[in-house]
Amino acid sequence: MRKVTLLSSTIFVGPGLLSGGGEGLGVGVAGLTRAFILTDRNCRPYARPVERLLKESGIETLTHALPSGEIQKSPAVAGRLHQQMARFGMDRKSALFAVGGGVVTDLGGFVASTYMRGIQVYLFPTTLLGQVDAAIGGKTAVNLPQGKNLVGTFYQPVAVVCDPAVLKTLPEREYVSGLGEVVKYGMIRDASFFDYIEKNVAGIRGRDPQVLDEIVHRCVAIKADVVTKDEKESGERAILNYGHTIGHALEAAGNYKTLQHGEAVAIGMEAEAILSMELGIAPLEVLAAQNRVLKLCGLPTRAKKMPMKKVLTALKLDKKNILGRTRFVLPEAVGKVRWGVEVPDDLIAAALRTVTA
């Protein structure tokens, strides 16, 4: 097991932390009055070790399993959870334990951060996307019909427990989707990691335990370093949004049903690399290298027949917009990006036509 410190959080990475029965969960729960475990129906088996730890510690515990799916990340669901926690008697010495993918950890973090103005939260991500990105860094959110993650907070968990061994049970599409965020880390910050991904594609696609442990740890370390320097995204943390400006718009345009998040990010990275090339920021070789690794990982670089009008409408609601102007993170080279770049509307439309044709 390896530990990464991120501000007030400790992130634990190691195989067997959940899948091994929970003996090595590593989190301290002394002093808690009550615990609310939030999970989804697919992840219920991974919530049991957490439940057992809490009950053996004498903590009154309530578990709630949601249906799976992005639709659960809504203000309405959050409100119902707040009410359930209040009925259970949760107070400011209680804690929420979120066990599941990015939907569960985003929603759980948001609910914990807003209940009684903030109670402790522990995250146990069970997807690749959750372990390398969604559960790391303290961003919480729910969606609105107009766009993704438009309501949220910055709120650091007490601990995040990442067990790469649980990734073996992920459906193939969901696993591959998570690789979109993995490739992103190589593109934004670490060319050597980008090379590692390309050289170890067979192990990644085959879910080799050692390779999975390495990529989760390296992604966590990169994100922890970025967030520690800029927790509230006033500067450098913006680089983590590479591929997300267009990616989120694609998700919204497909009503969060057509594309999984990592798939949308991969297509967004392709479009944003095209923008960078058109603006003369990055050479063609950067787009080609990124495209090659995305395809080796099994990720899409096109969203065929996506309605352009809906994508452009969703772009206008991007949280990084200032005075109605869309701002992008664009690559300069593998391992280096530039943030806060304004792009002319005609170039945005042209890049979108390329990736949605």
The catalytic site residues sit at 117, 139, 181, 223, 233, 237, 241, 244, 248, 261
Helix ranges restricted to H, 115-150: 128-129
Can you state the angle between helices 172-189 and 261-278, rounded to 10 degrees? 30
Report whether 267 contacts 247 (CB < 8 A).
yes
Alpha carbon distance 131, 164 (integer Å): 8
Rg (CA), the chain: 20
DSSP-based three-state secondary structure for 40? strand
Token pair 């559960």 in the structure block, residue? 135
Q: List, as one string, the DSSP characters of 309-332.
A: HHHHHHHTT-TT-BTTB-EEEEEE
DSSP-based three-state secondary structure for 222? helix
Alpha carbon distance 255, 242 (integer Å): 21
Distances (CA, A) of 351 to 230, 233, 244, 274: 30, 26, 14, 6
